[in-house]
Chain A
Amino acid sequence: MSSQGSLRKDGRTFNQLRGMVCDRGLLHRADGSAKWSQDGTSVLVGVYGPKNMPPKREDPEKAVLEVLWKPKSGIQGPEEREAEIILRRTLEAVVLAPLFPRAGISVVVQVIHDDGSLLSCAINAACAALVDAGIPMTGLLASVTIALAKRDDGAGGGAHLQLDPTREEQDGAQATVCLALETTPKAATSNGSVEGEAVVTSTTRGAMAIEEYLEALDRCRMASRTINAFARLSLDKAQRRLELPGT
């Protein structure tokens, strides 16, 4: 982008994501698990289920999804409770819950370290863990956070949108936008829609102009393709490791 010249504190360009790491199947007792890191931000997710639910909580039409959010330290506060609900509703959009009536799926999120873009990192981790557990889904999600740096930072032009902000950038920003997007899948047919990736979840903090939000959305769309490509690569690697004895 145009921001090649002016670098951020950690040396990234404004449009650059942090290095991602994804480990699948780390937990032995869970049905599926994944650890997703975006440099300093790291989240471990375990998925249990589909399993029996206590009769009080079961739904005769579909599987019940529950999300437990464990902060890095201490007990759950109101922020964590909100994150829990947002994450649950986001995952419900892709999980094929009607296939398992009366069953339950637990998603346990353990924050390992928070260096900004935490909710995005958790959504990416949870999505990878659900795939690892083999929970049927309609598609994959990719989540990106973007920060609108204050204009008086001297970052002129279109350079004030910082992709995948660190904690410091996030706290100093005029506003942040966190989006979860449906990714475009591989398709055998070419009649796919020309519209960009659909927005599944959107949360914002701070005030911004509508145009700034829409620009952030476009940047996130582009970044979500990178995340999707990375998630597929890591899936490929994990699958090949599993298949080793057969080949």
Chain B
Amino acid sequence: MDSQLEAEAFKRIYPEEYFQRFLSEGTRPDGRPLGRARSTTIGFGAVSTADGSALVKIGSTTLLAGIKLEVMTPTAEAPDAGKIAATFEMPPLCSPDARPERRLEETSVVVQQVMNAIESAGLVNTKELLISTGKAAWVAYLDIYCLDADGSLLDAALLAAVAAFADLTLPPVRVNPEGHVLPVLSGAQGGNLRENGDASSEVVTVERRKLTLGAMPWAATIGLYKGHLIVDPTAEEEALLESTVTTILDEAGRLISLFKPGGITAVTTALIQDCVELTRHRARELKQILEESSQEDEDEGDESQ
């Protein structure tokens, strides 16, 4: 009891010293070795009203991503493509630093970097979001909500976005000659899904389908502190770190993003190579988790039917 209290007091008064003593023993305050990420879970279809959604937890960092589809008229520059619009919200409940009147600065960075990673990796081919050339296309509103911000937000946000796209189903629709998009009535969902050619030849029906996803980007945030490389830092650790490097790789090992916003550590070529190596390992881990989770999701779906 007493020593517990003392450790707590020591942590409050000398947070750096407290952290350093752990690091010198090759471990971290939460018991992880420096190179290990927190346990990660993905839950598909967490929001029933969304067209695609996923709940991602990395340790206690919790993010909910949902995709809602709406019909838009394609732009003149790209008449054969839909688009993706992303938002990232950090409501006051996610962190003690968040306030309703003040946007946390992470908000802007995370949403930009998630979109950058999705575009750079070519995860979604926006041409697949087309309904009818020049007339109608889907706009996918990707909303990511942070429910608990406990560090490495970008990693979790990107994973949630990727999982939500994997979960996304484009609903069946009919397009009439004026280019208006009408939903297919649930009663007609049996055999009439193909083009109903005879009665009104101009009406085109687009079937329910999943997106064919391109290369999936996998992110790992690595904290730099006095020569140590700390994978997947918590919020507590992030407050003490000298700088962070977020590396994003795809399956083929291509570099999608290497994001280091300032920080006082002198980053050398060797250090960048170390970060890439650690991210490779984490990317394999994340890929496996996503595959296993989607397998479980399908199994459950089969059982319920």
* Interface positions of A (Cβ within 8 A of B): 78-79, 81-82, 84-86, 88-93, 175, 177, 180, 182, 195-196, 198-210, 212-214, 217
Contacts and interface: CB of A to CB of B under 8 A. Distances in A.
A205 B109 CA distance: 14
Given A85-B109, A196-B269, A199-B272, A208 B264 contact: no
B108 A93 contact: no
Select the residue from B243, B262, B264, B269 with max chain A CB neighbours within 10 A: B262
6 contacts: A196-B268, A196-B269, A200-B267, A205-B120, A208-B255, A214-B272
Contact of A86 (B120, B243, B262, B276): B262
Given A207-B122, A208-B255, A201 B116 contact: no
Contact of B263 (A81, A93, A204, A213): A93
B211 interface: no
B266 A175 contact: no
A64 B272 CA distance: 29
B258 interface: yes
Select the residue from B250, B256, B261, B272 with max chain A CB neighbours within 10 A: B261
A210 B262 contact: no
B280 to A, nearest CB: 9
Contacts of B273: 210, 214
Contacts of A201: 260-262
A67 B258 CA distance: 23
B108 A78 contact: yes
Contact of A85 (B119, B245, B260, B261): B261
B257 A204 contact: yes
Given A198-B266, A208-B255, A209-B255, A86 B261 contact: yes
Contact of B105 (A85, A202, A213): A85
A198 B255 contact: no
Nearest to B263: A93
A78 to B, nearest CB: 6
Contacts of A212: 255
Contacts of B272: 199, 213-214, 217
Contact of B269 (A78, A84, A204, A214): A214
Interface in B230-281: 243, 245, 250, 253-269, 272-273, 276
Contacts of B121: 207
